[in-house]
Structure 1
């Protein structure tokens, strides 16, 4: 089937891709839905490096928290088509073979699939600032799409909700070991997304015990906590 391709100031996209992009739902604000009923998407990206201006997304993993649990039947996993990607130290850590990158999904298609999976839900990630910047740049480059979904950082929620019972470090591995969770494969997007979701569920339980039962209140507490942390550094 012949596909018409369009290019204005942004990337070249097929008409079907433009229609899919333009049909993506607007993100919902952080609201007062009880945590036990809230749908959130937990995201993890594997990238070619840590430079948010130059490095690129190699693979994406995401899982859904809904109705107080992780829906194991509803997961997202995708390796992007990145031919001729240099074999950097980061690529070796992630264990993504050049053949997987060569056979990966077209970035525009992969990102459309991801955002359809996300829907209007807020996004959780561990050190979410990095994932948010990398995803935002990838969406703009491949789809001409501006990311507006609210992100919350599990790496901030964890020490805030566990001030007297926290590991010395604040890495994903530290909290995984602290809560005695099992990880199938570290530095793999889908496995890291799953263990981050498991940590998030534990933290949601802690939040409810502290009188925080929705994302709006949790985010307000997080903003206040963040300001206190910054004040200590002055």
Structure 2
């Protein structure tokens, strides 16, 4: 073994035997299929992070709720604050409101991330501005657990303008869409509350998708990819 390969092995997370066994037993993600949306299980995710720098900032808390059998299942919810070392106060604290004491008392990151991935199982995930959550979650899983995230993600921020083209709020945030549909938001910038309102928005969008003949994860993913390409195409 050369020095480089030894350093590479040493740099990877080395979970204890119990964590490694749990990691090995995590479900393989289900491929997107043509079964109706009502017959699917989706996990709606929201993360609170120490900031918006995807290379430097950390996941602080995870909130999630499940959509299954065409309804939000309030019996399947996930909420966890990760244990993080004391950080310098930043503007993000004013947004997410997670105190240093809560972070100090949080769950050890590897355990928290394993708990969450066991909750996810083989289901696809939904999030508002999903590329950010997907990147932050994938990075945390790799750094703290040595696990590669392979689950499919749906971006509710893309589904909304795709399925509601006449709303004329294409680059809107979560607050704009919840206001557009008259949804009640109990608390913003709290992972569990944001996950729940995102799930409520997703239920409306799934109904629109069925009306437009996009009644499966595979069809919805294909339509979203085509919509993104149109948005990125240069104006003629």
Q: Would you say same fold, with TM above 0.5? A: yes
Question: In structure 2, which of residues 16, 28, 32 is the aligned counterpart of residue 14 of structure 1?
Answer: 16
Counting only pairs closer than 5 Å after superposition, residues 55-134 of structure 1 correspond to structure 2 as: 55-134=57-136
**In 1, Cα distance between the equivalents of 2:32 and 2:190?**
28
Deviation at 1:166, TM superposition (A): 4.0
Deviation at 1:225, TM superposition (A): 1.0
> TM-score, with normalisation over the residues of structure 1?
0.94
**In 1, Cα distance between the equivalents of 2:56 and 2:90?**
13
Structure 1 209/184 Cα, relative in aligned 2: closer, same or farther at 3 Å? same
1:44 — aligned with what?
A: 46
Structure 2: gaps spanning 5 or more residues = 1-8
Q: What is the total number of aligned residue pairs between the two structures?
A: 228
1:146 — aligned with what?
A: 148
| 1:167–1:178 CA contact under 8 A, matched in 2 | no
Q: Match of 2:37, SS?
A: coil
Q: Match of 1:36, SS?
A: helix
Give the helix-richer structure, 1 or 2: 2
| 1:47–1:91 CA contact under 8 A, matched in 2 | no
Q: Match of 1:50, SS?
A: coil
Is 1:207–2:206 an aligned residue pair? Answer: no
**In 2, Cα distance between the equivalents of 1:195 and 1:45?**
13
2:6 — aligned with what?
A: none
| 2:27–2:122 CA contact under 8 A, matched in 1 | yes
**In 2, Cα distance between the equivalents of 1:159 and 1:51?**
26
| 1:166–1:178 CA contact under 8 A, matched in 2 | no
Q: Match of 1:71, SS?
A: strand
Structure 1 168/116 Cα, relative in aligned 2: closer, same or farther at 3 Å? closer
**In 2, Cα distance between the equivalents of 1:167 and 1:28?**
32
**In 2, Cα distance between the equivalents of 1:178 and 1:72?**
24
Q: Match of 2:233, SS?
A: helix
Deviation at 1:8, TM superposition (A): 4.9
Alignment deviations for residues 187-226 of structure 1 (CA, whole Å, 9 cap, x no partner): 0000000000000000000000001110100111111111
Deviation at 1:152, TM superposition (A): 0.9
**In 2, Cα distance between the equivalents of 1:86 and 1:47?**
14
| 1:42–1:197 CA contact under 8 A, matched in 2 | yes
